[in-house]
Each structure stands twice: as C-alpha cells, then as structure tokens.
C-alpha cells in the first residue's frame, strides 16, 4: 500500500475464476465510496495459460494502474513466477500449498506468505471455479477488506440459488479459518463507506455500447474479433429492449455492407471489430464515404500485424485507419482516451456522422476496451439527437430532388427509401449531383472531368465546418509548462497520473491530447505548439505514427519520443521516469 | 400517393443486342404488373454490366460494391422491412465475390428478391471466365487450348442447397415467362432467386441466343415436375446440357428472418423514436 492506492492481483489458469475474483473485489470497493481500476491480461485460449486480474483501489478517482502488488492471490505456480518481483514491501501472498510450491528464496524480504488449503473447501464433485470463493474468504481475512461488503457482491453475482449458497459457504468457512489463525486482526488501509453515492464499474466497450444505444443506434452487424466483439455482445444482449437489431454476419465485409444498407435506409448503425476485421471492411469504408452514408465503426486495436496478439494491446493501427481505402475522402477518426470520452464522444460522433454524412472510426485498444473503471453515472441531460439535413416530403417540390446537390458546405439533403419524392440512386461510383455515372453515356462523358472535380470538391467542402465543429484536442495542465506531452488514445490515464506525480516533485508538464486524429486539428495543435517548450511524444507503437501525422500536417518534429510496443499498456511510473529524463 | 413513374431519362450503355435490355424491360413490366409503390421499393445492385440496371429505373436504388448487393440489401430490409427490396447483379458479381453472401442470405431467408443476370462471362472487364463459365470455355483468363478447367457453379442447385425458399430460372429470350417469374419472386415472402440466362454478345460467342433457344425447356411441362418438392427440384437442377429447364423450380413458405425479431414486430427500425432514450437501467446494471 502506498500513496492512497491498494493493489491486488489474482493470477492462475483460465477456468479458475481469476477475472471474477478481481471483479468482485472491485465492485465491493466501487459500491463503498472507493474507486477501482481493473486490468485483465489473458492469452488467447479457453483453458490453462496464465490469466491475471489486477485491481487497484483508491479513495480518489483512478485513471491508471501500477504493478506494485500489495496482495497476490495465486491460483497457479506460473502466476507466482511471473509476479513475485512485483510485490510491494509488506505484501501478502495467499496460495494453496497443495498445488503450488513456493521457492522461498525467490520471495523478497518482508513478504508474508499464507499457505491455505483452499481446494479442500470445495465440496465433493463441486466445480473447480469455486476455489475463487475460498480465495476471496482468505483475502478478506488477511487484508481486512470488509467481509460483509464482499459477501453482498458475491450474493448478487450468482443467478442459481444453489450455486450462490455453496459459494457463500466456502467464502465464510475460509474467512473464519484464516481469521482464527491470525494473531492481530487486519484493518484495510482504505475506508469503506456504507451509504456512498452509486457509481458504475464500466469498461470502454460498455461505455461505447451504452452511448450508441443512447444515441438512437438501432442496428449493429459484425463478426466476432477480440477485443472489438464485446461491443457486439453487449448490443446483442441489451439492444433488443431498446428496439435494436444485431445481425451476426458471415464476415466483416458483409457486416459493414449491412451497416451501410441500414444507414442508407435512415437507421443509425454501429459496427465493432479489431484490426483484422477492419482490414476486411476497408473497401466498403470508401463506399460509405463516396455514397455519403453515415457510419460508425469501432476498431479496438490489438497487437499486429496479421493475427498478431489477439488479447493484448497496441496503438499501431493509427496510420492505417486514417488512410484506409483507395482514393481520398474526409472521415472522422475519434481516439477516446478514457471512459468519459468513450461515452460522450461516441454520442457526439453519431450526431456528427449524420450531420456531415461521413464515416467515423472510433479507434480504441484492448486496454481501454477491456479495463473496467469506477465512474459516476453519466449525465445525459444535455445530450440531444441531431440528424442533420434530412429530406422532408412536400407536395410542392418544384425542383427534382438531387441527392448529391452541391451546396456551399458540401452537405446535401438526405432522403431515405420510402420517402415520397426522394427517389434517387446512391452509388459507389464517382457521380454528379443526381448520383448518375456512366462513362459511356454521351451527355455525361462530355462533362466528366468537371463532374469529377465538383464531386471531389463537394466532399472536401465539408472540412472547414467539420474542423470547427469537432473538439480535436484537449490541453491538460498549465499552458506554460516546461514539457508538453503529446499523445492519443488510452495512454491518457497514465500520462495524467504521471503529470501529477511529476508536479509533486516540482516538474511541470502539460499534455496535448489529440482526441480526433481526422480531420486533423492542425490549427488548434499549432496554437499549443507555439507556446510549447520541450515536447515528448508518447505512443504504443514502434514507428511514432502520431508523430508522423503531426509532422506531415504541421512540419513539427517532437523533441523526444517514448514508444512502447511490448503489447502492454503504459504505467505512470514509466512515464514519470521519462519526464524526469527529459527535464533533467 | 403511390408513385408508378418507372422510367428515367438516362440512356443505358449496354452493347446493342445485350441480354440486359431484355431483363431491364422484364423488370419494369414485372414491377408495373404488381402495381408496386416505387417510393417503397429499393433496388440494390453490385458492380458490372448487369448492375448498371440501377442507373435506369426509378425506384430508390443503391449501386453497391462489386459482389456486395446482398449484405447491403440485408441492411435495408432489416432497417425497414416494409420496403420491397430487390438485389440484382451478374453471375461474376454474385457467384464470385458474392458467393458467401449468397449462401448466408439464402439460409437466413431474408425477404429479398435476387435477380442474377447469368451470361457465363465477365462483361464489363471484357471477357474473363466467370464462376458459371462452362468447362472448356475459352476466355481471356482461360485461353486456348486448355480453356476453363473449373467445374461451373449451377446457380439453381446452389440456391436450392443453401435454402432459398423460391428458386427459378428464366431466359431473357422468353420474356412472358420471365416477367411472370419476376413478379412471383418479388411477391414471395422470403429469399427468392432467379437465375436469368442471357447472352453476352460481345464476349461470349458460345452461349448465344440460339444456344439457349435450342436448350431451354419449360420445366412445368417436364415429367415429374412438382415445385413443392425439393428433391425433384434438385433433380431438375442437375440438368444442364442438351436440356436446360426454365421456370419455377421450387417454392416453399418458411418464416423470414425479420419475422423472427420481436423488437421489430410492431414497427420497423427506421420508425423507432430516437429522442430521450432512458439508459438508467443499463447504468444500474453496472453498479
């Protein structure tokens, strides 16, 4: 325990309820006025391997985590081997000596080992996963985490009464046994409140899914791909009560084309995938752009290239999504940095894609998509639906309707099938104002070069108002700091915490967060850079992709860069180290 | 007021004598004969000569990517199942890139009508072999002396096996039958497929009007015909050579995909209100 944080980690083979043990502890804290941050790491398999669930608890809001473990709950030998060197001074290790033999020479000094025969408490024929209830009982006794709080959470986790009772019995039994073995009763270092205001424990994919429902999204289609598919799972599960249809597609090509069909018909639509699935969607992304069909696609990045690292994090798809598909067209690329932005910016982009009739990619990653964070309930009072220029049928339309009419802002009135007087052709061909294209057509061919220029200019005439409308950047911290950190996406939380740590050591850094990578907020960034002293680029990739985009758009080259591409997310301590190095 | 003005002023760019003209006329006649409200009708096509039909007919239309008419049509149908949704394209578009979508749309029994212009060749890219090209066909990609060595896709057989609930084959040279089949297919509640035989006058000099004329035979006059019997339909589908049956092979009624969705049983997705959606319940689940 240091500086107001308590960190527990459970590790073991898949199938022992490692994730649910962590989640139960996080929920208990979350319901009791504390704040939790839950990071799951798991390989791409169903049984075996090493799963870990880290839960960081604090009495103040959390935006990140550290692997400084105060309590280590072991379900396998491998978990000890992997995490022994991450134990904090005074840490507690709980394990079952029947299955795990600890080499005490590898245990750092000052660490308390508690061998408890956890498995022996599972009733004959009981599921092995129940060992996590035994683990939680021991956890409460050894750490002083309020037992009744945890029991309440366990109670609410099980749907079957029999399973519930069995787990509670194991939990209580081990708690009592371990407590009795202690000479001094422990106090948990953080204070639990019984009547705390409710908070939610939510991950990025859940925040995006709920925002989509709030935004009136009624259609989703997709194909499973970690870590993007939990958006689809959420919508398949919760969507129907909100009138939403989720359609599992035969592949991601079908998925995005279904989304285009639904959106062309006037229904707000969302897809979600990871880099490989997004690769398959790329041709249709350009189709949506040229046909001016609004579209929202989530790409939750994982390690690449190719199948890459299905269950690990990366920020290496940025260049790809910014440039994906042949030809040139405006698009929106949103890179939310935290739960707050996953929710509110997803809601915003549904309005933006309708207003500008463009596709949007929400670029997250495994770390943001999958990590659960305590968050106050979302305030939805100010959220309003704006659908942009929609065709309204009148009896007295004098002019024939032109779907792609040239307008000063590049945005044409959009009719949807079924509307009287709005019949038109939407098309993947370069087209004139009426949507017509045929290079062999005599009248058309004569004007083709001009039609092509007009159609391309029309798309790009949207950009000035898009740039004004979209909050492309956020500047965190003092404008005249000694160091400006430049980053995007899920690195936000670790950077903010590192800035606080730096400030407490007399080092001043601010943070230029690029929230929307496309359209690139050049003007806003240049204003910040004019006042910047030293600059440090932080990205989860090998080739400094945002750095390249920044340089292409502004000519600016950052002074330093900190790139991490080992398939794990950034931690504040690493960033603090870099800040110190740069400012020394 | 329902709109029935089906013609547009654009002039088709198909080659003189192309079978697409006949299919275009047949489609217009079929739509007119059904007295459909064209404002409530959507035509989704792929890319290719056949798919250009979307440029010339006054319904709502979407000219999608090559091979992708069916998933787009699926999205349209699920977004507003009150619309009449027709997908259309060529044999290359539908049986090449589009094959996966074809199988899955059929097994789902979406209420979509799918017209495949089948000339056994890629026309717009100027004469490459298609998935329906006969064995031995000499094309740009399968030159002499070997010709095409791949077994062709039989669209009718494929549709029957994949679970299409209405399967027919038409011939552009038999306009009366084709119009009637198209009208029946559009009326059919479920995935209705017509394999429409047509020549490509520019690039397929084997499967000409005469070649088809000599072979096509009305299926209903053939011995053992029973359009309610899948096994019989499959046995007729196996005929491709001296005799090519044309007409309705098979029709059955089973629930369509959208009928299985309770959330759109009262109103279509596009009719649902978007304002003031209450997400409190979703948040409370996450306490």
C-alpha B193/C-alpha B111 separation (Å) is 11
With a CB cutoff of 8 Å and minimum separation 6, the contacts of A127 are: none
Hey, which residues 290-309 in chain A have their CB within 8 Å of chain B? 291
Q: What angle do CA A351, A356, A362 make, to 5 degrees?
A: 60
Concatenated DSSP letters for A251-309? SHHHHHHHHHHHHHTT--EEEEE-HHHHHHHHHHHHHHHHHT--EEEEEEE-B-STT-B
Q: Give the ipTM of the model, two decimals please.
A: 0.98
With a CB cutoff of 8 Å and minimum separation 6, the contacts of A303 are: A309, A312, A313, A314, A316, A567
Residue of A nearest to B270 (CA): A267
> Per-residue pLDDT for A397 more than 80?
no
Per-residue pLDDT tens digits for A420-455? 999 999 999 999 999 988 776 777 778 899 999 999
CB contact under 8 A, B58 and A437: no
Per-residue pLDDT tens digits for B67-98? 999 999 999 999 999 999 999 999 999 999 99
Give the model's pLDDT for residue A484.
98
Q: Specify the range with the lowest mean pLDDT, choosing from A46-50, B139-143, B169-173.
A: A46-50
Give the model's pLDDT for residue A60.
96
> Per-residue pLDDT for A1 more than 70?
no
> Per-residue pLDDT for A400 more than 90?
no
User: Which of the four pLDDT bands, split at 50, 70 and 90, describes residue A482?
Assistant: very high
Give the model's pLDDT for residue A398.
63
| Per-residue DSSP letter, B88 | E
B100 touching chain A per CB within 8 A:
yes
| Per-residue DSSP letter, A384 | -
pTM above 0.90, yes or no: yes
CB contact under 8 A, B279 and A200: no
Q: Specify the range with the lowest mean pLDDT, choosing from A71-80, A192-201, A394-403, B236-245.
A: A394-403
Give the model's pLDDT for residue A363.
98
Give the model's pLDDT for residue B111.
98
C-alpha A216/C-alpha A350 separation (Å) is 9
Give the model's pLDDT for residue A261.
99
Give the model's pLDDT for residue B84.
98
Q: Specify the range with the lowest mean pLDDT, choosing from A397-411, A440-454, B162-176.
A: A440-454
Domains plus CATH for chain B? Answer: 19-284 (3.40.50.970)
C-alpha A84/C-alpha A93 separation (Å) is 9
Query: What percent of chain A has pLDDT above 70?
Result: 99
User: Which of the four pLDDT bands, split at 50, 70 and 90, describes residue A104?
Assistant: confident
Cβ atoms of B64 and B138 closer than 8 Å: no
Per CB-CB distance under 8 Å, the chain A contacts of B72 are 257-258, 260-261, 264
Q: Which of A203, A202, A189 is nearest to A71 (CA)?
A: A189
Per CB-CB distance under 8 Å, the chain B contacts of A27 are 287
Chain A nearest CA to B239, separation (Å): 30
User: Which of the four pLDDT bands, split at 50, 70 and 90, describes residue A108?
Assistant: confident
Per CB-CB distance under 8 Å, the chain A contacts of B282 are 210, 213, 238
Give the model's pLDDT for residue A316.
98
Give the model's pLDDT for residue A43.
87
Class of residue B24 by CB neighbours under 10 A (exposed 0-12, middle 13-18, buried 19+) = buried
C-alpha A577/C-alpha A584 separation (Å) is 10
Strand A199-203 and strand A372-376: the pairing is antiparallel
CA A104 to chain centre: 39
With a CB cutoff of 8 Å and minimum separation 6, the contacts of A243 are: A218, B263, B264, B269, B272
Give the model's pLDDT for residue A396.
62
Chosen for mutation from A35, A256, A267 (greatest number of chain B CBs closer than 10 Å) is A267
Secondary structure (3-state) at A450? helix
CA distances from B90 to B14, B29, B104, B171, B242 (A): 13, 20, 18, 14, 23
Cβ atoms of B48 and B198 closer than 8 Å: no
B86 touching chain A per CB within 8 A:
no
Per CB-CB distance under 8 Å, the chain A contacts of B125 are none
State chain A's mean pLDDT as an integer.
95
Length of chain A (residues): 584
The minimal CB distance from A260 to the residues B72, B77, B287 is found for B72
Strand B192-197 and strand B113-118: the pairing is parallel
Domains plus CATH for chain A? Answer: 5-197 (3.40.920.10), 202-376 (3.40.50.970), 471-583 (3.40.50.920)
Query: What percent of chain B has pLDDT above 70?
Result: 99
> Per-residue pLDDT for A187 more than 90?
yes
Give the model's pLDDT for residue A438.
73
Element (H, E) at A201: strand A199-203
B80 touching chain A per CB within 8 A:
yes
Per-residue pLDDT tens digits for A18-77? 999 999 999 999 999 999 999 999 988 888 889 999 999 999 999 999 999 999 999 999
Query: What percent of chain A has pLDDT above 90?
Result: 90
State chain B's mean pLDDT as an integer.
97
Q: Which of A515, A565, A519, A508 is nearest to A539 (CA)?
A: A565
Chain B nearest CA to A281, separation (Å): 12
Give the model's pLDDT for residue B92.
98
B192 touching chain A per CB within 8 A:
no
Secondary structure (3-state) at A539? strand
Residue of B nearest to A285 (CA): B65
Per-residue pLDDT tens digits for A109-149? 899 999 999 999 999 888 999 999 999 999 999 999 999 99
Element (H, E) at A188: none
Class of residue A566 by CB neighbours under 10 A (exposed 0-12, middle 13-18, buried 19+) = exposed
Cβ atoms of A268 and A217 closer than 8 Å: yes
C-alpha A190/C-alpha A197 separation (Å) is 17
A259 touching chain B per CB within 8 A:
yes
**Nearest-10 crossing angle of helices B155-162, B99-108:** 40
User: Which of the four pLDDT bands, split at 50, 70 and 90, describes residue B263?
Assistant: very high
Secondary structure (3-state) at A121? helix
CB contact under 8 A, B63 and A284: no
């Amino acid at each position: 325990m240091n500086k107001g944080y308590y960190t527990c980690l459970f590790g073991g083979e898949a199938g022992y309820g490692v994730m649910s043990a962590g989640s139960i502890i996080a929920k208990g804290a979350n319901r009791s006025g504390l704040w939790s941050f839950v990071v799951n790491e798991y390989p791409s398999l169903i049984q075996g391997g090493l799963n870990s669930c880290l839960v960081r608890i604090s009495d103040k809001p959390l935006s990140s985590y550290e692997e400084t473990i105060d309590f280590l709950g072991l379900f396998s030998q491998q978990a000890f081997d992997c995490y022994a060197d991450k134990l904090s001074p005074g840490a507690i290790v709980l394990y079952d000596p029947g299955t795990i033999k600890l080499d005490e020479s590898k245990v750092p000094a000052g660490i308390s080992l508690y061998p408890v025969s956890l498995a022996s408490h599972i009733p004959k024929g009981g599921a092995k996963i129940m060992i996590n209830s035994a683990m939680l009982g021991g956890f409460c006794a050894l750490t002083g985490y309020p037992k009744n709080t945890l029991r309440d959470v366990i109670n609410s986790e099980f749907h079957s009464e029999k399973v519930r009772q069995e787990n509670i019995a194991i939990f209580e039994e081990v708690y009592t046994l371990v407590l009795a073995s202690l000479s001094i009763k422990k106090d948990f270092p953080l204070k639990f409140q019984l009547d705390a205001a409710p908070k939610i424990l939510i991950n990025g994919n859940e925040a995006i899914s709920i925002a989509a429902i709030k935004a009136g999204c009624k259609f989703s289609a997709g194909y499973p791909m970690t870590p993007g598919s939990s958006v689809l799972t959420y919508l398949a599960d919760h969507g129907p009560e909100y009138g939403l249809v989720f359609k599992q597609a035969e592949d991601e090509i079908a998925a995005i084309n279904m989304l285009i069909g639904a959106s062309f018909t006037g229904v707000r639509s969302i897809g979600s995938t990871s880099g490989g699935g997004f690769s398959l969607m790329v041709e249709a992304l350009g189709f949506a752009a040229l046909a001016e069909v609004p579209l929202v696609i989530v790409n939750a990045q994982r390690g690449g290239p190719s199948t890459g690292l299905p269950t690990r994090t990366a920020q290496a798809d940025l260049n790809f999504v910014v440039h994906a598909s042949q030809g040139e067209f405006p698009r929106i690329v949103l890179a939310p940095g935290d739960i707050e932005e996953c929710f509110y910016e997803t809601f915003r982009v549904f309005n933006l894609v309708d207003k500008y009739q463009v596709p949007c990619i929400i670029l997250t990653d495994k770390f943001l998509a999958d990590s659960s964070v305590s968050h106050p309930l979302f305030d939805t009072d100010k959220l309003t639906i704006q659908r942009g220029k929609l065709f309204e049928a009148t009896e007295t339309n004098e002019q024939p309707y032109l779907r792609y009419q040239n307008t000063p802002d590049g945005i044409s009135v959009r009719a949807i099938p079924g509307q009287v007087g709005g019949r038109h052709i939407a098309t993947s061909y370069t087209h004139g104002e009426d949507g017509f294209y045929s290079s062999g057509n005599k009248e058309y061919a004569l004007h083709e070069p001009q039609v092509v220029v007009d159609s391309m200019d029309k798309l790009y005439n949207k950009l000035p108002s898009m740039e004004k409308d979209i909050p492309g950047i956020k500047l965190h911290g003092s404008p005249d700091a000694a160091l400006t950190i430049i980053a995007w996406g899920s690195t936000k939380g670790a950077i903010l915490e590192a800035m606080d740590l730096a400030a407490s050591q007399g080092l001043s850094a601010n943070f230029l967060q690029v929230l929307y990578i496309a359209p690139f907020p050049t003007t806003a960034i240049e204003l910040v850079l004019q006042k910047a002293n030293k600059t440090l680029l932080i990205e989860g990739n090998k080739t400094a992709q945002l750095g390249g985009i920044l340089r292409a758009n502004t000519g600016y080259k950052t002074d330093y860069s900190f790139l991490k591409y080992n398939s794990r997310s950034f931690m504040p301590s690493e960033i603090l180290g870099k800040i110190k190095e740069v400012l020394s | 007021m329902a709109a029935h003005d089906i013609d547009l002023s654009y002039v088709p760019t198909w080659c003189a004598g192309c079978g697409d003209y006949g299919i275009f006329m047949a489609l217009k006649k079929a739509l007119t004969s059904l007295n459909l409200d064209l404002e409530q009708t959507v035509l989704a096509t792929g890319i290719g000569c056949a798919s250009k039909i979307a440029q010339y007919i006054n319904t709502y239309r979407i000219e999608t990517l090559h091979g992708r008419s069916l998933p787009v049509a699926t999205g349209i149908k699920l977004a507003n199942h009150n619309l009449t949704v027709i997908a259309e394209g060529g044999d290359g578009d539908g049986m090449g890139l589009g094959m996966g979508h074809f199988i899955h749309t059929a097994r789902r029994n979406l209420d979509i009508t799918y017209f495949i212009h089948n000339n056994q060749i890629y026309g717009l890219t100027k004469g490459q072999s298609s998935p329906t090209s006969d064995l031995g066909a000499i094309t740009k990609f399968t030159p002499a002396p070997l010709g095409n060595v791949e077994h062709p896709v039989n669209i009718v057989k494929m549709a029957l096996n994949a679970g299409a609930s209405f399967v027919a084959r038409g011939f552009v040279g038999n306009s009366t039958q084709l119009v009637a089949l198209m009208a029946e297919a559009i009326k059919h509640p479920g995935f209705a497929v017509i394999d429409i035989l047509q020549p490509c006058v520019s690039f397929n000099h084997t499967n000409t009007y005469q070649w088809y004329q000599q072979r096509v035979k009305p299926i209903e006059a053939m011995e053992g015909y029973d359009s309610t019997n899948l096994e019989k339909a499959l046995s007729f589908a196996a005929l491709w050579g001296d005799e090519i049956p044309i007409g309705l092979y098979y029709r059955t009624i089973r629930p369509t995909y959208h009928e299985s969705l309770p959330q759109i049983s009262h109103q279509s997705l596009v009719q649902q209100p978007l304002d003031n959606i209450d997400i409190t319940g979703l948040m409370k689940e996450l306490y």
